[in-house]
Amino acid sequence: MVPNITIFRTNPLALSVAVILLASSSSPAYAVLLSCSVSATALSFGSYDPTSATARDSTGTVTVTCTSNLAGLLSSWDILLSTGSSGSFTPRSLLSGGNSMQYNLYTSAARTQIWGDATGGTAKVSDSQLLVFGTSQHSYTTYGRIPALQDLAPGTYTDTITVTLNYQ
């Protein structure tokens, strides 16, 4: 049985943050010059109507914060997202008990390139910045989409994505 309107409150997509520090130099002095971290805001898809022919979209933000002890330091980084609970990028799954709702995360508003770890046809987000002395922040939008017409049981559907930052 599919009710006419079912309200699913997807808990804002919980993002657990894992930071992996990768320096191209093995010199401990490099770590004194630059340190970076990553944080993320949750995606909240709100209510989902399984009878709607329209996909449900949402956005979140991944922020890279770098502290440079040298003005004019050129730094580059890659931001990778995990598969979450599904163990696969295509599709990712939001779970509610034993029920599963398909969704995915993308690198742009066009939602054509899955944001992952650059394996299995996914893309990572990469950037390079000339950093000033002190702390700077760089934000990247995460574009989420739940495909339309998924016949689902009512519930709160969630997933946890690990955000990994590799920088040098």
Residue at 102 is within a domain: yes
2 pLDDT tier (thresholds 50, 70, 90): very low
Residue at 78 is within a domain: yes
Residue at 4 is within a domain: no
Alpha-carbon distances of 82 from 40, 89, 92, 151, 163, rounded to whole Å: 13, 8, 10, 26, 7
Output the pTM of the full model.
Answer: 0.80
Alpha-carbon distances of 49 from 35, 64, 139, 148, rounded to whole Å: 44, 34, 31, 8
How many CB atoms sit inside 10 A of residue 113's CB?
A: 14
Residue at 44 is within a domain: yes
Per the structure, the count of domains in the chain is 1
Residue at 46 is within a domain: yes
Residue at 33 is within a domain: yes
d(CA 115, CA 104): 8
What is the domain range of residue 155?
14-167
Instruction: Give residue-wise pLDDT tens across range 63-110.
Output: 999 999 888 889 999 999 999 999 999 999 999 999 999 999 999 999
Residue at 1 is within a domain: no
What CATH number does residue 155 fall under?
2.60.40.1090
Alpha helices in the chain (DSSP H): 28-33
How many CB atoms sit inside 10 A of residue 101's CB?
A: 25
Residue at 92 is within a domain: yes
